Chains A and B, each alone.
Chain A
């Protein structure tokens, strides 16, 4: 069994963000592995613990993202791939998916896992796009994954708390929901071993691609924190009282 876990490094959840142009100001910000992706990694490591598996982690990002890969290696992943070129700054989901697809295509992974979305951009696009590019069946938002007889049975979370069970033949791609498992902490031994594990750095041409083929189609015009508007009014009281007040306000403003 060979498993690819795609992960993204995102600003730490407690980081104080300042927008600058189309992205945040990265100076002095701490980064961490996207929370959704940590569950995907944990799931892969559990499959490895239960049997024989090689777990490969891949990310797309500048030098700082090697820290995320080392963390994953420290937790138990076997090797890592870091893909970057300065032209990829601000890359859109399709570009990311194309790069990951190029890195994965000759490796014949049995299973590709990743988070349902990233904590920073919230697009939820990379997984399905990557699956399409690799020609793999896929499903999203897994709450439970069971592998047997060359297939994966996945429980997916739907609106309103209902669960859907789907079967996919391997190889396939699954994006996971948070809470699917309990993510482990790295051991000191794991951290010590991590530095001996391979971390391959690749550029666009190393993947057999050229910059034009992976140029982003989406550009971010502006990233900003909305300023607090004037005139907001907080209604206080019990739910019933607030509802009463709200109805009063709606009538008063002639909105209905």
Chain B
């Protein structure tokens, strides 16, 4: 990696590593309010249009401690960790919280935050999760309007359609730039490792959007196309709500693989869909919500037109991936429910895959390496046989 690229990436890496420090700095600098937002469907543009900093709350790097007993041990690492962060007071940097997602484990964790910080605004809007029902578009629009009203109350003033339209344009531009990098990786550019791709997305979830876009442009300007080498090409799939540990991504690539695409939440899922600019902004945000699932189907939603497994196979074909690693957050129910459908389809298409569960408390790197190496070996052998 060139020096220019390394220095362009450095500030984003710093934010990805310590999002809280960025939020504190931003508040000191601007005097503005920070909104803690939960994954995966809150329309962050609204909070931005209100002058606040919307931050997708990240899993912290610290081990869980004093908050360990606030949720049972069989909850996903993300939810247990945010309960722990609440108990430690680490979420005090936020002036309010917004959630649009009905995952039962997430609601449990969010309720822990509510009980730890009862004085903070904590709004939950139940977006319709069954997406193909007749009343869904109207219900989604109603809920988006409710978010708008609540954020306006939180920020202390109305949000004008012009402000919302400007925020939408800003966020679209940021997504577009990130999508270009993902498309380049899919097409064969190996300029960024998967850890670096994660830094780009994670920092976007935290930083002021204009600032992030400017930093991203610098990264793009400093980057040079690097053709793929002959490492085994992999697609990473799954991992909702938070980012897989960077050391896990590193271990996968160190085994002799190169990640060529993903449908991770802290990856291409997050940036998949833009908000339309040719209709009223509230309608546009409602449509964005419905279209996201069509773009990259998500098992936390119910719809019958598109299937995640078909999307996965299409992505694998498009990127030339030779295998898939399904990264499953341990105890993540929507993913556990959907996994057999993925497995069935990958097997039917002869695409080798490996299921790996992740937890908050560290990555057993040796075990990861052994399993990834076995997958790579399987892929190489299959390629030999078929050639």
Binding partners A and B: no
Chain A residues with CB under 8 Å of chain B are: none
Chain B residues with CB under 8 Å of chain A are: none
